[in-house]
Amino acid sequence: MNDNGEFLIQKRSSIRQINPNKWAFTGGTIIAGEKSEEGAMSETKEELGIDLNINDLEFLLSFKREHDFLDVWLARVNIKLENIKIQEEEVSEVKWVSLKELDTIINNGEFVPVINLYYDLFKKLLIKCHNLKN
């Protein structure tokens, strides 16, 4: 999230087997022995070329799915889109969106479906803790 309260989302590459051409937050699977926050930082570096440090991250929520856990981190970062170096096998496009624009993308079915598991809580936390407008 940047200082304007916008969220950086990425469009998954058309060659991805799962959810091609869907918008998503940066994410991935952590390596054995890796901490959740380390995974968040390494995936952001790998997919977008953005170097984060632990002070950029805020833990938001975690929940158990059938075969794994999903941890959601909020990264505070201000970066121009032209300074992002996307991993083209993973990502085709990035953009900053407001919470209202994110709602529209999700409601139109353009976002990866996993967002439906936690979006309501995610949104409530952001509105309450970061004074974002709905």
Residue 91's alpha-carbon distances to 9, 25, 26, 30, 55, in angstroms, are 10, 11, 9, 18, 25
Encoded tokens for 130: 């970061």
Q: CA–CA separation, 53 vs 80, rounded Å?
A: 18
Q: CA–CA separation, 79 vs 81, rounded Å?
A: 6
Query: Would you say residue 134 has pLDDT above 80?
Result: no
**Where in the chain are the domains?**
7-130
pTM of full prediction above 0.75: yes
pLDDT tens-digit readout, 68-126:
888 999 999 999 999 999 999 999 999 999 999 999 999 999 999 999 989 999 999 88
The H-assigned helical ranges of 49-83 are: none
Q: Which class is domain 7-130?
A: alpha beta
For residues 11-23, give the mean pLDDT.
Answer: 97
